[in-house]
Structure formats: C-alpha cells, structure tokens
Amino acid sequence: MFAGLTDRSWLWLAAECYFVGLLLGTWSLTRRNRQSGVALNTIIAVGYLFQLTGLWLRGRAVGGCPLGNTFEIFQFTAWSAITLYLIVGVTFRLSLLGYFTSCLAAAVTIVSLAIPAWDATRREHIFGGNPWIELHAAIALFSYGVFALLALTSFMFLLRNFSLKHKMPGGGFTFLPSIMDLDSMSVRLLVIGVTLLSISLAVGAVYWLRDLQSVNLTKLLLTVTIWLAYAVALGLRLKGKLLAQRFAWAGVILFGLALLSLWPVDASRHARPAPARVSR
C-alpha cells in the first residue's frame, strides 16, 4: 500500500498524523475531558514513524543527513522535538505536552510542506564528505528540537501561571501540569539543549579551525549567538536570577529567535555554491 511513496508523501502522512493529534487534543479539551494519552501518543508515534521513513528516503537520495534546505531543516527540527517528546514526555507524563507537541509538529511540518520554494533547491555535498560536519549539523538541529520542546513547556508554564495569577484555574487550564513540574522539565530541557548545542559547536570548531576559509561568518555568528543566549539563560536560571515567568518567556522568545536565525543561516549557505535540484 505504501510501496512507491515518495519522501514528501511520507512526510505529508506524518504531518496529517500530527494534525489528527492536534484535532483529537482540541476535541478532548473542548469536551473538558482528560486527554487520552494512549490514543494521542499512538497517533504521534505513527506520525513519527512516517516522518522517519520520509527523512530516511530523503537522506538515502541525497547521500547524507537531509539538512540541505529550509524544508529539510524544519522537518528535521520537528522530528527532533517528537523524538525527544517520545523519550522524555512520555516518561514524565506531563499532561497536555503531547497535545502541544503535536500542535507544534503539525504547524512546522505542514508549513514546510506547503511552501514548495523551501524544497525547490538544495545544496549537494554540504558537508564536504566530512562525517564530523554532518554530525555537527545533526546534533545542532537536534538541539533545536530540544529547544522547541522547551518552548512548549515554557508556553505551558506561562498559561498555568496566568491561570493561577488571574484566579482562573478551571476550563482547559485544569489539564495543564503544575507550575513546579513544568519548571523542572524546562530546566532539564535547557540543560540537555545547551549540552547538545555545545557538543555540536565543539565538533564544528575542530573543523573550522582546520579550514577557516570555509567558515560562513553569518552562520557562525548566529549559531554562537543562539548558543550563548541559551547558555546565559541556563546560567541565570541556575544562579536563581532568571525564574518563573521570566524564565518561561526566555524559553519561548529564544526559540522564536532560533527559528528566525535558520533563514539567514540557510540563505547564507545558498549564496555560495550553485543550487542543485532535489531528486525525487
């Protein structure tokens, strides 16, 4: 039944699964029912497998990690967030995190699929045949997935904090996790994200130091800025200077900036070599 499907078809199927998760979660919330964790997690897991298949096919076609254009970067980021959700979210059983994750994944994957220009061209051999650079890029993008999940737990914290401060604990707010659970999960995610991005930069730095000419300055500056911003946020949180809703706002805003930084990073990479068509 699925034989012969293209990578984009698999990715569309995945996006549809995440969208169904979004609808199921919204339906449960409007009915004021507790989220059906098993149903939602199953839908997300099926979507995840479809997305994994799509990315694997794309990776096989391009002969490496599929991070050659904006479409692939968005798909990989969403996939990373889902991977982490399936490991961390399911383990810690934070209610509504699955719902918010499927909302984010649906939005990111559908938008990336709906804009054909993002996938019209891709750079080939972007890693110069160097597996370390491929690893650097993959870990960096995976850390963005972690930060995506951090943005979600931060957003949930802001909702919960708003509901408690404004004396409105009922309605849809009932199903949100507690302030302490969300804060503790956000700190863990920030530690994981900063660690991964640090590893990624360390791996990349070895390569840059060997071949300074090949370094794209825009990309380097933006990536280091994002890393620094998250590292500073982590330092301030651990020192007790950035707390509660300010910490949560930082989680949301920094992810927004991280996403925005992907465009100039990608554009600066496209500026150098001649684009190649994606083989599908």
What does the block give as tokens for 109?
């994957």
Report the site for another protein in 142-171 (rule: CB under 8 A): 160, 163-165, 167, 169-170
Any residues with CB less than 8 A from the CB of 236 and at least 6 apart, and which? 242
Out of 115, 228, 244, 276, the residue judged to bind another protein by CB under 8 A: 244
95 binds another protein (CB under 8 A): no
Calpha distance 170→189 (Å, rounded): 28
Q: Please count the residues of the chain.
A: 280
Q: How far is the CB of 237 from another protein (least distance, A)?
A: 8
Residues near another protein (CB under 8 A), total: 21
Asked if 93 is part of the footprint of another protein (rule: CB under 8 A), the reply reads no
Query: Distance between CA atoms of 174 and 105, rounded to whole angstroms?
Result: 23
Tell me how far apart the alpha carbons of residues 136 and 220 are, in angstroms, rounded to a whole number.
13
How many Cβ atoms sit within 10 Å of the Cβ of residue 239? 9
Nearer to another protein, 23 or 244 (CB): 244
- Report, in Å, the least distance between residue 244 CB and another protein: 5
Burial of 61 (0-12, 13-18, 19+ CB in 10 A): middle
**Which residues from 180-239 bind another protein, rule CB under 8 A?**
180-181, 183
Q: Report the residue number, 6 or 174, with the smaller CB distance to another protein.
A: 174
Assigned token pair, 37:
């964790």
Interaction of residue 266 with another protein, rule CB under 8 A? no
Is 246 a binding residue for another protein by CB under 8 A? The answer is yes
123 near 115, Cβ under 8 Å? no
- Residue 150 CB, nearest distance to another protein (Å)? 17
Binding mask 5-44 for another protein (x = CB under 8 A): ---------------------------x------------
Among 23, 115, 120, 243, binds another protein (CB under 8 A): 243
Is-contact 61 124, C-beta < 8 A? Answer: no
Q: Does residue 178 belong to the site contacting another protein (CB under 8 A)? A: yes
HSE of 164, CA atoms in CB hemisphere, 13 A: 14
CB of 153 to another protein, least distance (A): 13
In angstroms, the CA 46 to CA 10 distance is 11
- Which lies closer to another protein via its Cβ, residue 243 or residue 267? 243
List residues near another protein by CB under 8 A: 32, 160, 163-165, 167, 169-170, 174, 176-181, 183, 240, 243-246
